[in-house]
Structure 1
Amino acid sequence: MAATGAESGEAVAESGGYEYDVVVVGGGPAGENVAGRVAAGGLSVALVERERVGGECSFWACMPSKALLRSGHAVTAARRVDGARQAVTGDIDVSGTLRRRDSFVDQWDDRRQVDWVHDAGVALFRGSAWLAGSREVMVRDPDGTTFSLYAGNAVVLATGSVPVRPPIPGLDQVDFWDSRAATSAERAPESLAVLGAGVVGVELAQAWARLGTHVRMIESGPRPLPSAPDFAGDLLEAALRADGVRLYSDAVVNGVSSTEGSVTLELADGTEVSAERLLVATGRRAATGHLGLESVGLHEEGAVDVNEHGEVRGVPGGWLYAAGDVTGQAQLTHQAKYAARVVADVVVARATGRHVTTDAFGRYMTSANRHAVPTVIFTDPAVAQIGYSPERAEQDGHRVRTIELDMASAGAELRADGYRGRARFVIDERHQVLLGAVFVGQDVAELLHAATIAIVGEVPLARLWHAVPAFPTLSEVWLRLLESYGL
């Protein structure tokens, strides 16, 4: 039960456990960042992880899904440029794509992340963990041994999220893919039915379609990406259809059944959709089950509610914190890392006697986690967005002006013949600052950080006029924005 790779905490003889300044539950991006930053601040830290250090993003989500998408994107990009398309004479090498994906996840071996944890001076415990009362974490290791970790200063929950399984009759009787199975598959299935048209659904539908799989997508609304602007969903729908994906819109699934080698979805209109594999991609929820939250007076179900410092509300004493997906905030690796850095800084400050005020983090953390969350959907076209929609901005009392533009510029035209893309900007008319931005098109992800800086920094549009975009690049869309605004 001893820690590996770092000095163990102080032994607590009467209980057979160990005491550390901080105990972090969950070794994904949030947990790693909390642990490393707290250790750098001079505190002793224990990190508990039941699966792979690095978490969902490293092994089953961000990295493998983007690796699966990249081969198809590269070939398609070449085919959009006269002179290059003539050189594309064959199909995508599926086995090569899968080998490249495997390299990004280190063949699902977490030794590199473990080495990083050790080098950071963090004690790593393998096992499942749960709260057993104030500042106490119980751990059951892979051998079944149970022991305690005591936190002198803080416990941080960073257990991430898990897929939602919709209550569809027959679903629990069939063998279906979740996102993990879809990103780690060893071969391309002949056919794939995708249930859900959110981020996971559209990315994996396009990835496998471009690797030669016949894909059917079942969506509950009129277009993909219901949380994005309609024009984004429309452009992506056209691209998915061009890739051979068959879409079933406004669909209701009444039941699921299977025969040998096939899964069938029965739709409310009588249509049957069959495929070799079924991917269920209907969202994720905070992973709070079996965390022992009731031992500290919290409900076991639902996300953990935190304040602007990441401190869990409803638990007296200021010792319990949470960061990442488990808080129910934006389910994004970069946001989890941001929240982790805030939590770590607050924990270290309080442990070393420094006063922490809401001024230090409150305003900007609230904005960053609610109104300034940058999101990229890595399809082709990509969808990059941040900030307010026009409707939400008006609800919050802003006087709004919305400007929509085609992504038409020399930079776009050079990038691809017949480049298709669109942008939308939401502007606060009182203060003449940007509140939100959406970019849709090939390679628009790299435009997003400029919008993030403009929104978080509340940069006046008149000042942005002097931030001259380089020619010829996609960034010329910023010039089009300012011209359309009348500056």
Structure 2
Amino acid sequence: MSSTRPDIDVHPKGLSPDDLKIKEFDVVIIGGGPSGETAAMYSVKGGLTALLIESELVGGECPYWACVPSKAMLRPNETIETAKGVGGAKERLALLAAKYSATPEIDVEGTWSARDRFTKGWKDDANVELMRTSGVEVVRGFGSIAGEKRVSIKEWHSGSTVEVTARQAVIVASGSAPSIPVIEGLQKAGYWTPREAVSSNEVPKHLIIIGGGVVGCEMAFAYRSLGSQVTIIGGSDRLLPRIVPEASSMISLSMKNSGIKVLLSTTAKEVTREGSTVKVDLVDGTRLHGAEILIAAGRRARTTGMELDKVGAPTNGAAITVDESLRVVSVPAGWLYAIGDPNGLAPLTHMGKYQAIIASQSIIASARGISGDDSKESDYSRLSRKPSDNATPQVVFTDPQIASVGMTMEQAQAQGLKVKAHSVKMQGHGTFLHAADYDGWAQWVVAEGTGQILGAIFVGRDVADLLHASTVAVVGKLSWRTMFHAVPSFPTLGEVYHNLVESCAK
């Protein structure tokens, strides 16, 4: 079985539920990740009392095991690769390479040090203090449903249980866990999950990655830059199968140019380990030999053991169905909410926090006997997630980056919409500031007739910060004609918006 580093304590002592002086709160939140923290703080801001229950580190998956450490591992190589394309910097790198008879490479120990600073050494003191200063009560333990508006909390170390009551609502914000495929010999051989991949202080000579999605692709680039030989295995016929094919092809080409071996349309059949070597047999007959194997085959809701079946919700990792205010639909009384990964709508940190605000505002409004929102624009109520159902922004931090929001052309056509895709190359204009040979690509999906922008994608170095303007356009139902008047500054990467507008105008 996989395990985290022995020096990382994921169940620190203290904040025991046994020490609770009050056993009744307006809102009880199960899960202290970004979604749970946000829901708790907004509930308190709205005049309610809140209890936050976390079974591991307060802060959740993102700051310790996902978004934050992975980006710390990716950033050094991004910086060096960018410098290689900038006049004045690339010459200096070449001079240093000649002097030391070596190509410019990132410093592994420096990368680990930066990652450890970003994760605060896997200590959650700062997050606990933030909750406390915000007026949120925090306890460590495993929360489960005990009955209507009742939650049982099991203390990790002693095994003792305490029951608390919510006057208004219970929020499930328990996050997600890795999905581990059934592969013969895998459990006996041992493996990395994304937790081990972002916390390891070792660089495997050869890392075999099972899974061609976001995590698998990001870790492939990270460990290749750290010096590993990397092989990535994807069951689909292309990497990142949920991304448009053009972007997927650019990532595959970049991987191959970086020396990453890409195997597609195949899966692992058996895994064995002999000493320091792990052997992976694929269904197509290929045998791979590596030093470590990373399972990056997706995630499932972390709901096992939470007794959600008592209220008709799934407890096997399946998504919990919610309404527009994030209430669990199987609980007609409306006291149970599910936000973030457990509802499966948009398993991304920023979307979980967005949902947390909606859920907490809905609970506050209900507590005050208010059924509407201060805003008269009902389409943009803070009590409903409806405007963003098709407007989830996401950035994949590969090389090049992929930033997307809204619908692809295929998704729009599947809904019966008449659309056209407008694609442009990101060359010239402000790209010369990033690299003389900058290579990028962008696309808008636009409704015929109205010109409304329904989706956008950008592929290239440093395109992540280009995305928000398109997110505003998609959520705001803006047309390309409106965007013509939003003039991008010169010289910036944002000039691609001018090119997209002109493509639509043809």
Same fold (TM over 0.5): yes
**1:299 to partner: Cα distance:** 3.2
Deviations 1:241-266, CA, capped at 9 Å, x for gaps: 22211111222322111111111110
- DSSP 3-state at the match of 2:497: helix
Residues 258-407 of structure 1 aligned to structure 2 (within 5 Å): 258-301=273-316, 302-356=318-372, 361=381, 365-368=385-388, 370-407=389-426
| AA at the equivalent of 1:310 | L
* 8 Å CA contact 2:66, 2:195 repeated in 1: yes
Look up the match of 2:472. 453
* 8 Å CA contact 1:308, 1:362 repeated in 2: no
Deviations 1:349-372, CA, capped at 9 Å, x for gaps: 11122124776649961231x310
Moved more, 290-299 or 463-472: 290-299
Pick from 62, 69, 83: which aligns with 1:64?
69
Deviations 1:374-393, CA, capped at 9 Å, x for gaps: 00001110000011111111
Pick from 129, 139, 154: which aligns with 1:125?
139
* 8 Å CA contact 1:308, 1:361 repeated in 2: no
* 8 Å CA contact 1:409, 1:477 repeated in 2: no
Structure 2 Cα separation of the partners of residues 456 and 232 of structure 1? 23
Look up the match of 2:101. none
Say whether residues 1:19 and 2:35 are aligned partners. no
Structure 2 Cα separation of the partners of residues 367 and 374 of structure 1? 13
Structure 2 Cα separation of the partners of residues 455 and 62 of structure 1? 25
Structure 1 Cα separation of the partners of residues 367 and 257 of structure 2? 57
Residues 228-247 of structure 1 aligned to structure 2 (within 5 Å): 228-247=243-262
Say whether residues 1:250 and 2:265 are aligned partners. yes
Residues 184-195 of structure 1 aligned to structure 2 (within 5 Å): 184-195=199-210
**1:2 to partner: Cα distance:** 10
Look up the match of 1:15. none
Gaps of 5+ in 2: 1-12, 98-103
Look up the match of 1:114. 128
**1:481 to partner: Cα distance:** 1.2
Pick from 430, 445, 461: which aligns with 1:426?
445
> Following superposition, which runs of at least 4 residues in structure 1 exceed 3 angstroms of deviation?
1-5, 7-10, 356-364
Structure 2 Cα separation of the partners of residues 275 and 474 of structure 1? 40
Deviations 1:309-346, CA, capped at 9 Å, x for gaps: 01110113111111100111111000000000000000
Normalized against structure 2, the TM-score is what? 0.91
Say whether residues 1:95 and 2:100 are aligned partners. no
Deviations 1:68-124, CA, capped at 9 Å, x for gaps: 000111111111223312322342110000000000000000000000010011111
The alignment's C-alpha RMSD in Å is 1.9
Look up the match of 2:10. none
Say whether residues 1:136 and 2:141 are aligned partners. no
| AA at the equivalent of 1:268 | V
Say whether residues 1:42 and 2:56 are aligned partners. no
- DSSP 3-state at the match of 1:475: helix
Look up the match of 2:214. 199
**1:9 to partner: Cα distance:** 6.1
Percent identity between matched residues is 38
| AA at the equivalent of 1:480 | N
Q: How many residues align?
A: 478
| AA at the equivalent of 1:141 | E
| AA at the equivalent of 1:456 | V
Structure 2 Cα separation of the partners of residues 79 and 360 of structure 1? 45
- DSSP 3-state at the match of 2:385: helix
1:57/1:392 CA distance change after superposition, 3 Å: same
Deviations 1:375-413, CA, capped at 9 Å, x for gaps: 000111000001111111122232101111111232113
| AA at the equivalent of 1:319 | W
Look up the match of 2:57. 52
Look up the match of 1:466. 485
Structure 1 Cα separation of the partners of residues 450 and 349 of structure 2? 31
Say whether residues 1:153 and 2:158 are aligned partners. no
- DSSP 3-state at the match of 1:76: helix
Deviations 1:463-486, CA, capped at 9 Å, x for gaps: 211111111111111111111112
Deviations 1:132-162, CA, capped at 9 Å, x for gaps: 1101100011221111011111100000111
* 8 Å CA contact 1:92, 1:211 repeated in 2: yes
- DSSP 3-state at the match of 1:376: strand
**1:8 to partner: Cα distance:** 5.3
* 8 Å CA contact 2:359, 2:383 repeated in 1: no
Structure 2 Cα separation of the partners of residues 359 and 384 of structure 1? 25
- DSSP 3-state at the match of 2:493: coil
* 8 Å CA contact 2:324, 2:384 repeated in 1: no
Gaps of 5+ in 1: 11-17
